[in-house]
Amino acid sequence: MLSPFILLGVSAMAYRIKYDEDADVLVVILKGKGKLSYAKEVGDIIVHFDESGKPLFMEILKASKIVPLMVEGLAKKEVTVA
């Protein structure tokens, strides 16, 4: 199974991660610079892209519920988040 970052076209590198406890949103900053052009939402994950279609950052909504499932899935090499 491919990494979500590989599927997004992001090479392995250090990412900045921020968590907003009040909103329960985890933000993963994939690219430090770029002009935001559009976003795509798939369930509780929103990926924001620059003008050339490269991902800038992604938001994981309901992070306190989804992230533990993602970690559990990584350990099993698969995950289904409903």
> Tens digit of pLDDT for each residue in 33-58?
889 999 999 999 999 999 999 999 99
Beta-bridged to residue 43, according to DSSP, are none
Query: What are the tokens at 37?
Result: 């052009």
pTM: 0.72
Single-letter amino acid code for the residue at 73: G
CA angle 16, 39, 15 (to 5 degrees): 10
Residue 8 is given by DSSP the state T
